[in-house]
Structure 1
């Protein structure tokens, strides 16, 4: 049986023949270098229009081998379970595609061996750069990238061996706590009983938020009490257990600072099960619009994911990272309307 003929893939030589130009001119136009080599704009437009008309598609693998480029952009995140990391991934993908790159985002579940293995795998795939988000010990991963000659940026949690982009955790927590104290007082509660719940001791973001939290309490004339800072981790189950322990003493405190939306998920589950435990004012260092459905006051701090990703790409383009190799991005307060009444 005769083999069915297949349609031949268009090449730059086809474009050159159709436009009456050389293959090298076509190549310079298609890779965006035509202005640098003073190729006429009309010629460039004619080449691009012809490439589109005949359905030309670059052989990215062959091109990558020639240029020592893969057209791949890598990113590591802990998980997709909250809007912060999911938002970072989405903003990263958008920026990467704007540059003609194929984004690869991998979640590592805050597991150090997985983070190391994923980094090694992405390096083996010759990603053009790597953004490392939410990794507590990012220096090891930065070293792997440096040894492979791959640029990297630390995001959310900073390192010492590569530039970093972080939220203003301390300032944001201080502002969030100020509103929490004011809201508790407005409702006739005792702000001295406010508890901090969630996050990891020794982790940069948590430690900075604890400092901001205690600074705001001190401003309000409240002596910070270490026993009211419960760094139980980020998992909803762990936070649920922490809230259950607080309620076992009688009822929940008049105010709660919940450190992350996943810990807030644990509070929402507990509150649904035990509404009799009280209706505290809740402040969360994270943001999710569905929090507005809870029948109690909620104040949230939204991290600016779009601005953080923009800074990452600026650094990769060669822009200085600022003092200490770190860029700090301000978060935005969100006080849900109509929720701060008794």
Structure 2
């Protein structure tokens, strides 16, 4: 490490004298909080350059500050196993490149320890923006970004400590539920038999979709059954087991099923594939997610599509207008995925 002329280690007072900046300003730059106090980026860069020249040991947060543009844009997301997260990643990469940035996307398998470690690594590589997608509690990651002075946007699941962009989970689920109730009633089935299956209790997206599910019933002066909602998780295997229990109790599939993700819907397809064809025809199915391959399934399904293109565009817009003092929540409308099928034009 470089030392001063007297042979001692450099201090923030040496950096202050070398740059003509106050000791407080030097401290805020070195601990990564300079953006909160409106310190100019030019000043922050000058202080960091001086710190390097004097051999001052800059911490992880300060290393995340830009001495110059890195050209990197980061995104973390749970996995690539469904079209929604894969679509977010692909769209993020496309829009980042369009802006002259090199995208870096990392999956974390919903492991908080991995989420934290990956975020620290991306910040140390001086990403210019970080999108945090599908993280149940993004606050610790938002704090890391704030300390490094790097704009971050929560995507899919919101947080109170950074701007967020999410789908209209409640409105979309309400519209989807209403379509399914209408189909059930047209077939002469009791709407009260419609089941909401999948997701995680107390998670933002699931709770909003459950609220939309119940709102659709209330709008028709109906009440779902007491066991209509089952938050069995997102995994296909969990949905398959939950369906098996219900079929064992009823002796058949429920007259209507709303699956709370494409992975839960995969569990339905796996389970239904073991049943006679007439069993499939006895129910109507919906999914809060979208995949065009569903058009080729031998049963009726209505899907709600999340607009990944608009979600990512809104997230970049928030990053461009980044203000550490504001944390808006942007809700992006959903729409019915158009699955071309000769017997169901609503899909």
TM-score of the aligned structures, taking structure 2 as reference length: 0.76
2:319 aligns with 316
Secondary structure at the aligned position of 1:227 is classed as coil
Question: Any conservation in 1 of the 2:153–2:165 contact (CA below 8 Å)?
Answer: yes
Matches within 5 A, 1:46-195: 67-195=67-195
Question: Any conservation in 2 of the 1:236–1:263 contact (CA below 8 Å)?
Answer: yes
Question: Any conservation in 1 of the 2:132–2:154 contact (CA below 8 Å)?
Answer: yes
Q: In the TM superposition, what whole-angstrom CA distance separates every residue of 1:92-127 from its partner, at most 9, and x where no partner exists? A: 001111121110001111111111111111111111
Q: 1:229/1:219 Cα in 2 relative to 1: closer, same or farther (>3 Å)? A: same
2:203 aligns with 203
Matches within 5 A, 1:286-297: 286-297=289-300
Matches within 5 A, 1:202-241: 202-241=202-241
Instruction: Measure, in 2, the Cα distance between the counterparts of 1:184 and 1:97.
Output: 46
Instruction: Measure, in 2, the Cα distance between the counterparts of 1:65 and 1:74.
Output: 14
Instruction: Measure, in 2, the Cα distance between the counterparts of 1:162 and 1:245.
Output: 41
Secondary structure at the aligned position of 1:76 is classed as strand
Q: 1:139/1:82 Cα in 2 relative to 1: closer, same or farther (>3 Å)? A: same
Secondary structure at the aligned position of 1:166 is classed as strand
Instruction: Measure, in 2, the Cα distance between the counterparts of 1:278 and 1:314.
Output: 44
Instruction: Measure, in 2, the Cα distance between the counterparts of 1:131 and 1:226.
Output: 38
Question: Any conservation in 2 of the 1:296–1:339 contact (CA below 8 Å)?
Answer: no
Instruction: Measure, in 1, the Cα distance between the counterparts of 2:107 and 2:179.
Output: 34
1:14 aligns with none
Q: 1:140/1:65 Cα in 2 relative to 1: closer, same or farther (>3 Å)? A: closer
2:242 aligns with 242
- 1:295: Cα distance to partner? 1.1
- 1:252: Cα distance to partner? 1.1
Q: 2:335 aligns with which of 325, 332, 339?
A: 332
Question: Any conservation in 1 of the 2:79–2:109 contact (CA below 8 Å)?
Answer: yes
- 1:236: Cα distance to partner? 0.5
Q: 1:334/1:96 Cα in 2 relative to 1: closer, same or farther (>3 Å)? A: closer
Runs of 4+ in 1 over 4 A off after TM superposition: 64-67
Q: 1:303 aligns with which of 286, 306, 315?
A: 306
Instruction: Measure, in 1, the Cα distance between the counterparts of 2:85 and 2:105.
Output: 11
Q: 1:212/1:320 Cα in 2 relative to 1: closer, same or farther (>3 Å)? A: farther
Instruction: Measure, in 1, the Cα distance between the counterparts of 2:225 and 2:256.
Output: 14
Count the aligned residue pairs: 277
Question: Any conservation in 2 of the 1:71–1:102 contact (CA below 8 Å)?
Answer: yes
